[in-house]
A and B are shown apart, each in its own frame.
Chain A
Amino acid sequence: MKVVVCLKRVPDVAEVDLQLDPSGRRIRTEGLPYVINDWDNYALEEAIRIKERTGGQVIALTVGKEPDEEVLRRALALGADDAIRIWDPLLEEADPFLIAVVLSQAIKGLAFDLVLTGVQASDDGYAQVGPMMAEMLGIPHVTLVTHLGFEGKKALVRRELEGGLEEEVEVELPALLTIQSGINEPRYVSVLGIKRVAKKEIKVLDLEALGISPSEIRPKIKVEKLFVPPSGEGAEILKGSPEEVSDKVLEILEKGGVI
């Protein structure tokens, strides 16, 4: 089976005090740690497992600048056969629609059976690119996939609904699936493993190479500004040593009639 997997590198913002850049429309990214988008990491693991089970090929793609190749190196280290990075200065303000345009254009000629990507990205959280690519590629899609099996030319998948419920869906291949976190246990990639594939060629495609005219690069949605969301009243912060805050917590619990 030939599996295409689309990956994104994102800033890890847990425990980071985010600052806006002068435009007010983006965050300052200098000094932020970057990681593979968590959902894409599960999609990558799933792609590699399919290859291990059924043979075939894995091709990894990303849209981004050179440092974003980190996620492709990770894919290559895990056993992906090919890696493609798409970038063009005109993509600086790309919205999910345009990301789907360039990815699907690159995927079109690959004679794939399956396209996998994460449900969403942890930075902008749109959850749009996957199903949009499917529409552009003219193939069916299933989102929020938590379990995946194959029967001939069909995939039998489970998708996550609300409140612990799931549904089983049958889909004809080729298809696009967006992978939900928790579907598998992504394996660890060693520094040595990454080093081993450091020399492996990563194909870089710009708009011209993709045969996309610059006039097609018009985003449909645009972030006008970022701001700190209203958070309600907010918590009363208990200050002091672990002893002091513990005493305060006990007092609160006592007042609440819990202890």
Chain B
Amino acid sequence: MAEHRQGQLRDITFEMLKKAQGLSEALGQEVHTVLIGEGLSEMVEGVRPYCHKVHLVPVEGVKEFEGEVYQAALTRLIKDLTPSLVLIGHTAQGMDLAPALACAINSPLVSDCYDFGFREGRFWAFRQVYGGKLSAQVEVEGSPVIVTVRSGSFEAEGLRTLGGQVVSWEGPVGVFPYKRFLRFVEAPRAEVDITQAEVIVSVGRGIGGPENIPLAEELAKALGGVLACSRPVVDKGWLPKERQVGTSGKTVKPKVYIALGISGAFQHVAGMKQSGLIIAVNKDPKAPIFGVAHYGIVGDLLQVVPVLLAKLKERKK
């Protein structure tokens, strides 16, 4: 399932194509891409080279994702094509579409997978559980298997050219009066653009409460950087959304990223893992953040940061 928004194919589309190409070679099967919406001729060319067939479903008036339209089109295509595997992004679109689709066609759905394949004809998938502390190997009953794929799990580079054909959908998809996309709502302009900062001090749930935020902010200032945060801090209203690093917030690439009390859920890590130098402070030695950090301190940030700050100020003198 190709994903697009505001006239652009999204990265997940190519990440899924890459994985699909590998599986298609191993299984001796074809890669087909489904593209749904109005006015997609340019996008067709974006995916056509990398698959055997593109199923183009032109739907008048449907420029952006509409779950009910997508579900109806995919239901019919899956019935006709009987694929072994259906790949959908584990994204805002895929999370809306896949479970209802799986239900409608009575298929098993394994969601948010970071790897999957077939071993001796049996499907397997890996996915994270318990906030990334453990992984699960999942098996399924029934087919076709629907998988939602975690963003960034597969490198989109190095796609092979398969020179696909375009197959156009005949006839109407159906009438869907119950749900309608109205408009996009852009984030308000940020006061501070954290994506431009060279040094970021970022706080998570482990900061404990809003009363400790100034401490982290002071550290950020002392390092000539800015203060950012992970999702729970925004959810609790301790910092504004514009400071949030992660898939639903900003992606940052500073020289230095200091993570204070951030457990390192995938959604956060996806937004900061390309930072030059990552230093993490967390009480939990098993916190996934230590998997991406270059240096880690297992301990209470409220004990470490004041000392670090004092030493930093002393140096400046």
Contacts and interface: CB of A to CB of B under 8 A. Distances in A.
A and B: bona fide binding partners: yes
Interface of A: 11, 13-18, 27, 96-97, 100, 119, 122-132, 134-136, 139-144, 156, 158-172, 175, 181-182, 185, 218-229, 231-232, 234-238, 242-243, 245-250, 252-253, 256-259
B178 A222 contact: no
Contact of A250 (B95, B129, B241, B308): B308
A218 B141 contact: yes
State the majority secondary structure of interface residues on B. Answer: mixed
Nearest to B254: A258
B172 to A, nearest CB: 19
B99 A170 contact: no
A245 B235 CA distance: 31
Nearest to B106: A220
B186 interface: yes
Nearest to B141: A220
Given A15-B284, A231-B291, A223 B136 contact: yes
Given A168-B184, A228-B134, 12 more contacts: A14-B131, A119-B95, A123-B130, A131-B99, A167-B182, A170-B179, A226-B134, A235-B294, A243-B307, A253-B256, A258-B198, A259-B312
Nearest to B288: A231
B304 A226 contact: no
Contacts of A249: 279, 295, 297, 308
Contacts of B248: 160-164
Nearest to B71: A135
Tell me what chain A mostly uses at the interface: helix, strand, loop, or mixed. mixed
Contacts of A11: 130
Interface in B98-115: 98-100, 102-104, 107-112
Contacts of A227: 134-135, 137
Contact of A126 (B111, B181, B263): B111
9 A-B pairs closest in CB distance: A231-B291, A235-B296, A182-B235, A164-B187, A220-B108, A131-B99, A235-B293, A135-B103, A140-B178
Interface in B191-239: 198-199, 205, 223-224, 231-232, 234-237
- What is the size category of the interface that chain B forms with chain A? 35 or more
Contacts of B68: 140
Contact of B133 (A18, A100, A143, A172): A18
A97 B142 CA distance: 13
Interface string B117-161: 000000010111111111111111110000000000000000000
Interface in B27-76: 64, 67-68
Interface of B: 5, 64, 67-68, 90-92, 95-96, 98-100, 102-104, 107-112, 124, 126-142, 177-187, 198-199, 205, 223-224, 231-232, 234-237, 241-242, 244, 247-251, 255-256, 263, 276-280, 283-286, 288, 290-299, 303-304, 306-308, 311-312, 315
B131 to A, nearest CB: 6
B301 to A, nearest CB: 10
Nearest to B304: A242
Given A142-B96, A220-B109, A258-B256, A163 B250 contact: yes
Given A13-B130, A127-B95, A258-B256, A242 B109 contact: no
B112 A252 contact: no
B3 to A, nearest CB: 10
Contact of A97 (B103, B183, B255): B103
A246 B295 contact: no
Given A172-B179, A242-B299, A259-B315, A252 B96 contact: no
Contact of A132 (B90, B103, B236): B103
B290 A231 contact: yes
A218 B108 CA distance: 11
Nearest to B284: A15
A167 B315 CA distance: 48
A185 B295 CA distance: 35
